[in-house]
Structure 1
Amino acid sequence: MNTDFFGDRLKAVRKSKRLTQLDLSKRLEVSKGTISAYEQGLSFPSLETFVKICSILDTSADYLLGISDNLPFKMGGLSDEQVETILQFVSLIERANEITNQ
């Protein structure tokens, strides 16, 4: 898994679905601490759990892994222009993180 993107994107998608770490942990049948560790990049899910995460959050593996910037879900009530602005902001943050990590 691309460790540079997974945790941050998992957290962002989880929050966009209005799920707490506890909500997601219950659906995955893991501890809340496990979700926290995923989001912090301290550990990573098994392939089976990763597939479940994608299904529960209705998102693509490509997005969670940073392979694609295309959000596979609709951001309710936002115009295409607003979604594009958000994606540009996310891209800027990702670039800043890359520079910081170098």
Structure 2
Amino acid sequence: MVEFGENLRNLRLRDKLTQAQLAQKLEMTKSVISAYETGLRFPSYDVLIHIAKIFKVSTDYLLGVENRQEVDLSGLSSEEIIALRNLIKAMKKK
């Protein structure tokens, strides 16, 4: 589960959150977030699920079981979703 700490840190930085801000969202201390990121501690199942919901990723992604991230397409038209899928396909062919 070494990936968990790295994935958590990367997601936190991606969303421009400090450890203190994430800790506040999870109702815990900054030191707990630091311990998660350095691999000194691991979250309970409930906290893991809460973290996944905050960052809109799967728990499998957080744990390093899968490398796939999801994108929230809500609010987009069908045409926009198709355009995004085509763009992703084109980028994968590179």
TM range, smaller chain: 0.7 to 0.9
TM-score (norm 1): 0.68
- Stretches of structure 2 that go unaligned for 5 or more consecutive residues are 73-86
Give the corresponding residue for 2:3: 5
Give the corresponding residue for 2:12: 14
Could you give the per-residue CA deviations for residues 29-61 of structure 1, whole angstroms, max 9, x where no partner exists?
Answer: 000000000000000111111111111111111
Give the superposition deviation at 1:73. Answer: 3.6
Q: Tell me which structure has the larger Cα radius of gyration.
A: 2
Moved beyond 3 Å, runs of 4+: none
Cα distance in 1, alignment partners of residues 40 and 2 from structure 2: 12
Could you give the per-residue CA deviations for residues 3-37 of structure 1, whole angstroms, max 9, x where no partner exists?
Answer: 22100001001111111111100000000000000
**What RMSD in Å do the two structures reach over aligned CA positions?**
1.6
Cα distance in 1, alignment partners of residues 62 and 11 from structure 2: 9
Give the corresponding residue for 1:87: none
Cα distance in 2, alignment partners of residues 4 and 70 from structure 1: 17
Cα distance in 2, alignment partners of residues 20 and 71 from structure 1: 21
Give the corresponding residue for 1:55: 53
TM-score (norm 2): 0.73
- Stretches of structure 1 that go unaligned for 5 or more consecutive residues are 85-102
Cα distance in 1, alignment partners of residues 30 and 49 from structure 2: 18
Could you give the per-residue CA deviations for residues 42-88 of structure 1, whole angstroms, max 9, x where no partner exists?
Answer: 001111111111111111111111111112247xxxx743xx6xxxx
Cα distance in 1, alignment partners of residues 70 and 17 from structure 2: 17
Give the corresponding residue for 2:77: none
Q: What is the count of residue pairs matched by the alignment?
A: 76
1:31 aligns with 2:29: yes
Q: Percent identity?
A: 38
Out of 18, 43, 46, which is 2:44 matched to?
Answer: 46
Q: Which amino acid aligns with 1:14?
A: R
